[in-house]
Amino acid sequence: MTLYPYPADWLGAYRWQGLDVSFMAAPGPCLGDAEPAEDPGDPRPAAVVLIHGFGACKEHWRHNVAALRRTRAVYALDLIGFGASSKPRSCLPHELPEAGSLCYGIDLWAAQVVAFLTAQQTGAVQLVGNSIGGVVALAAASRLEAEGRPCRGVVLVDCAQRALDEKRLAEQPTLLRWARPGLRTLVRQRWLTQLLFRSLARPGVIRRVLLQAYPSGANVDDQLVELLLRPALQPGASEAFRGFINLFEDRLAPDLLATLSTPVRMIWGQQDPWEPIAEARRWTHFPCVRELHELPGLGHCPHDEAPALVNPLLASALAEADTIS
């Protein structure tokens, strides 16, 4: 058993729509002007909520929380289906709902994040998301704008591009487009997704995938493997996997960026094997995108692969959004 990254008194859980939501709340400094802002117009540092990616959990921010809480309160939550949060049975589009089943997707997780802000009474807030958590952060920011309580800023860390979504089908090779209907039928089969998930939820496989995501190999350690493996062995974990790999028609980051007014800053590993930096560069043309920091030699999770480099970038991005707000 490896050392857990957060103190026990930072951990919490609450019920949302009949589901358990696990979270971490790290208090910021309580020193005059460093106290958290209470509303969007308050000039003091806003709280920050960290949103993990697919297959990860709140502990994936293990190397970032201490640095960020020097100036602000820091929260991280487990999205439904991941970490220590509930993992209900998946219900795909066009399937008849069963008791307790759930349609996994960006809107579900965005609603969870917005509800979390209300439940925790965070006041002014900024959102940071890695991978699919980046799309969730954008969707949550869009919801907050619609509710008249926009967040101060969003930071995307190697945001998911969702290249297999139907709306991007024309970009795919001819063979993949031809095979698409059969693939969609295949991955709907629960027996297959359970078999595939069991083959992936093994320490050696997780480590090999991490070494793809972390090209430098830095911080791919026993603690990280255990933190990702433990939730994958819990009942229902394969259901979130089934729901996720069937997200063929869901939110895309560019569509959200096109309508967002909230300032967005991006941090990206140039060697990300799954979310190409070239696409991120195209996103800089959206008016809401303020900057893109490219990180040579780093991959899909630079916040964990090279925290000494990324933490100052995160702190600076959050401070800039506080100042502008």
Q: Residue 155: phi, psi to the nearest 5?
A: -120, 125
Q: What is the mean pLDDT of each run of 10 residues along the chain (325 residues)?
A: 86 96 91 53 86 97 97 97 97 88 96 97 96 98 97 98 76 74 82 93 97 98 97 95 88 96 98 96 98 98 98 97 81
275 to 146, 162, 214, 218, 278: CA distances (angstroms): 29, 8, 13, 19, 9
* Amino acid symbol at 201: A
Report the DSSP pairing between strands 11-16 and 19-26: antiparallel
The whole-model pTM stands at 0.94
Distance CA 222, CA 226 (A): 6
Strand partners, 47: 125
Distance CA 90, CA 87 (A): 9
Residues in contact with 267: Cβ distance below 8 Å, sequence separation at least 6, in sequence order:
155, 156, 157, 158, 292, 293, 295, 302, 303, 310, 313, 314, 317
The DSSP call for residue 89 is P
- What is the per-residue pLDDT for 172? 75
- What is the per-residue pLDDT for 193? 93
DSSP per-residue string spanning 108-163: HHHHHHHHHHHHHT--SEEEEEEEHHHHHHHHHHHHHHHTT---SEEEEEEE---T
Spacing of C-alpha 227 from chain mean position: 16
- What is the per-residue pLDDT for 41? 63
Domains of the chain: 8-324 (3.40.50.1820)
Q: In which region does residue 89 sit, left (phi positive, over 0), alpha (psi from -120 to 50) or beta (all else)?
A: beta
